[in-house]
Amino acid sequence: MAKKLIPIIVILIIIVIGGGAFYGGMKYGQSKSPLSNLSRQNFQNLSQDQRQQISQGRTGRGAGANFLTGEVIAKDKQSLTLKMPDGGSKIVFFSDSTQISKTAEGTIDDIETGKQIMVSGEQNSDGSYTAKTIQLSPQK
């Protein structure tokens, strides 16, 4: 009877150790994420290159908060089109509730074709985005 219990106990120990290692690895990975300790205030203080590196890691990960960085190539009263660093483009919808900022408070009139911006918002099922915030990048 005892010989039958030994393999079961060994399997249970392996499962517990494996589960603990998996959990520890996930927590370690989260602590090394570039956004793990980055508040919104600190994100605005990063250089354009730093923001772009972080946002490229976040773009295209499904629904939820995403960051896009690119050049405005078209704009109308409800949307704009961004040329992405990889050469592609994304459509971004905005509304009166979309927060637009720069060093000082901004408005939709501050967004012009050819300017670099960063967008935070939700990805729609068709691949377009609905902006929650738009950050105008400082001129170089």
- At 108, is the pLDDT very low, low, confident or very high (cuts 50, 70, 90)? confident
Query: Which CATH number applies to 40-136: 2.40.50.320, 1.10.260.40, 3.60.15.10, 1.10.760.10?
Result: 2.40.50.320
In order of 18, 66, 91, 92, 98, the CA distances from 126 in angstroms are 39, 15, 10, 11, 20
The average pLDDT across 32-41 equals 49
DSSP per residue, 23-62: HHHHHHHHHT-TTTT--HHHHHTS-HHHHHHHHHHHTTSS
- Give 75's strand partners: 80
Which amino acid does the sequence have at 73?
Answer: I
pLDDT of residue 120 exceeding 80, the answer is: yes
3-state DSSP assignment of residue 106: coil
Q: Give the contacts of 56 (CB within 8 A, at least 6 positions apart).
A: 69, 85
- Give 30's strand partners: none
Q: Other CB atoms closer than 10 Å to residue 65's CB: what's the count?
A: 13
- At 58, is the pLDDT very low, low, confident or very high (cuts 50, 70, 90)? very low
Q: What is the pLDDT of residue 75?
A: 92
Q: What is the pLDDT of residue 109?
A: 87
Q: What is the pLDDT of residue 50?
A: 60
Contact of 46 with 55, CB cutoff 8 Å: no
Q: What is the pLDDT of residue 138?
A: 67
- Tell which wins on pLDDT, 10 or 62: 10
Run of H or E residues at 109: none
